[in-house]
Structure 1
């Protein structure tokens, strides 16, 4: 049995992390104390305690515990397990069905759970690493309480590792088990908030550190480094983690924080999501920098083209160039505000017909319809400008574009105000 399973918490006080929902006076503790467990969806990355909590709840409430993995079961298997366990219903206080990876069930398979969770004979505790609002059938969501399991903080990982070392001293009869504090700190730092991963690393280095001659175990920082693989990041393309990373990247660029922007770029580069990166950069160049620096879109497009041509790992260089450049550019959202306001009017108010003098007049009979007759050609006038109505009558005084407070837009705005005031 893997060390992570040997050391799986047996009671709520043994769990580490999730202090927002677990601990004295917190909601999970109160539910267990009252033995009134609702249907739950436990959402979060692997190794954060979802399965352990389901075990603890079942043990604490005296309910029969049945575990299934949605990856390798369907409607038939779910019903068979539920029907077989119902024979034991009177021997227990009910049944807890722990369903791992509920996102693997399709809509029809998820609907098959409704009957048993509605009649109260089965309490569903489902787990998923994906955002449940994206992957779980709404009828199940409405009948369940969602608890988010967050990555476990380093201090809590260390607490769990030190507890594991003490239990190892009980499990094994070695003369001594010596573990450098820095070795545990390194494991806690590189396990990415995953307690199971941390325990697996501890088990590996424990086996490496066995000295048969002295009947002892010695674990050093160098041993841990030698046994460690590359730190894995949480990033599932098309999943909640990827959208969050892209969102943080975009918002950091918009917020003009070059350091945060580079950090999130590094996450996206590590995940190899070049398409996601380039789309966000191009969007920021127009949505958030816009007319404050009109050439930003051209520079960004050149960096994006270079990155796509180079591919990783070299693509990281022009992507970093574009990222730092956009983060430091003055910002203006005047362009997106203008187009969104115009689109909103098209959906919500009567905007009227295009003025006759602006309509196409390049065909025989157009003048008979009055089209283009009164159009004034601006290049025939001083400064290539003449005052005339362009918007439809219904919205002729509408103002969509409001210049941003930046040097470029202020300069153009001043130019046109001065020109239009010339008599």
Structure 2
């Protein structure tokens, strides 16, 4: 097979057999379900889900090379219902005339709206089309349930360091599709730098290597030398896979849970990832405020003050300096004693308000400052706590007693608990 050397390196190096496929052993190791299905040419509808550059499209084309079925491809960005209808009609004809199945590969299937997915459903449901969809987004959020229920979901994971290393070395050694016919020297430092830059994305690693090869001149001995300095020049800034959907929420979830779990180092790491990826610093500050109140609460009331001050600071100074108050507040919340007693208390109270008969406000607690209130007996019998010893007097504030707030022994909340216990005992 002739290889066009002008096509991108990543395209030229797509594997054509399962043995050449790098990574994803959790679904493609010998004996695994998908491995067996491909070898037996018994593919059913499936969704390939994972980040860019991990082999989703390569796997689809590997199936194309292995199957005896008719293989069609659509890109969800540029295709519509008319394309689906055309392929469905052709698939019906193919099945009637030659008993040949049709596999339809839809790249970026998450870009199909509900109407387009609905149009695809009957053909999948009736077995006219075997669907292979690829997506970088969680299919549970983007694919309609009827399609999901008729498809197997296979998650492809970021490639491991050894996988990326294998891909780069294969590109340097492959004489037909890579650079094996050239004299290339790559330092261990440059190789390690490319691997770390790739961040689990094989395509990114190959694109960086290709740029280096295209822009490097051979030395007097005809050797193309790729050293650490050149690798850094090729890769001027690392790009993080951080969309505004699942990865965005996964990262903020890890950030919040690290603060809640009292791990300042993990907190700073996830914060750094969000800042580096360009997350709105005000969004981060709002999450810190919520965590300060929900997870620290009255164990350290200063946490909420610091968190709210951080939002003001970030709005005032912006980035890059805004990272400093964000880090300060996040670390403070992470290292503060924890209590969710207020959070649990308000949830219990809200549940009672929603589900139970509402309690009336006692007359002695009603507003009594307006003219004519005394005629309605508003405020009658109210005892003003500051007129009593220790600024407290026993008085019912709910006609039906309830217990919502259960202070813990953590931080300042321990003092609150002790104070409430003294009240019970009448000081």
Same fold by TM-score greater than 0.5: yes
Identify which of 359, 362, 371 aligns with 2:366. 359
1:372 aligns with 2:379: yes
- Partner residue of 1:272? 278
Alpha-carbon shift at residue 363 of structure 1 (Å): 5.1
How high is the TM-score relative to the length of structure 2? 0.91
Range with greater deviation from structure 2 (185-194 or 18-27): 18-27
In 1, Cα distance between equivalents of 2:223 and 2:98 = 47
CA contact (8 A) 2:50 2:136 kept: yes
In 1, Cα distance between equivalents of 2:49 and 2:376 = 65
- Partner residue of 1:179? 186
Aligned residues between the structures: 419
Alpha-carbon displacement from aligned partner over 1:173-197 (angstroms, at most 9, x marks no partner) = 7463333333222211111211011
**Equivalent runs, 1:163-174 vs 2, <5 Å:** 163-168=170-175, 174=181
- Partner residue of 2:292? 285
In 2, Cα distance between equivalents of 1:173 and 1:185 = 20
CA contact (8 A) 1:174 1:215 kept: no
- Partner residue of 1:72? 78
Distance 1:74 1:399, change over 3 A: same
- Partner residue of 1:418? 422
CA contact (8 A) 1:252 1:260 kept: yes
CA contact (8 A) 1:48 1:195 kept: yes
Range with greater deviation from structure 2 (209-218 or 124-133): 209-218
In 2, Cα distance between equivalents of 1:309 and 1:98 = 49
Alpha-carbon shift at residue 76 of structure 1 (Å): 1.1
Alpha-carbon shift at residue 82 of structure 1 (Å): 3.2
Alpha-carbon shift at residue 303 of structure 1 (Å): 2.0
1:389 aligns with 2:396: yes
Cα root mean square deviation, aligned: 2.2
Alpha-carbon shift at residue 383 of structure 1 (Å): 1.5
In 2, Cα distance between equivalents of 1:187 and 1:373 = 78
Distance 1:180 1:142, change over 3 A: same
- Partner residue of 2:32? 26
Alpha-carbon displacement from aligned partner over 1:87-142 (angstroms, at most 9, x marks no partner) = 44455741111111112221111111001101111111111112212222222122
- Partner residue of 1:244? 250
In 1, Cα distance between equivalents of 2:299 and 2:119 = 55
Alpha-carbon shift at residue 155 of structure 1 (Å): 1.4
Alpha-carbon displacement from aligned partner over 1:294-338 (angstroms, at most 9, x marks no partner) = 121112211221111111111111111111111111111111011
Distance 1:21 1:320, change over 3 A: same
SS in 2 for 1:407: coil
Identify which of 322, 335, 338 aligns with 1:315. 322
CA contact (8 A) 2:267 2:331 kept: yes
CA contact (8 A) 1:69 1:101 kept: yes
SS in 1 for 2:426: coil
- Partner residue of 1:324? 331
Alpha-carbon shift at residue 2 of structure 1 (Å): 0.7
1:145 aligns with 2:176: no
Alpha-carbon displacement from aligned partner over 1:335-362 (angstroms, at most 9, x marks no partner) = 1011011112223333533333323344
In 2, Cα distance between equivalents of 1:81 and 1:36 = 21
Identify which of 60, 63, 66 aligns with 1:60. 66
Alpha-carbon shift at residue 407 of structure 1 (Å): 3.2
1:10 aligns with 2:16: yes
- Partner residue of 1:261? 267
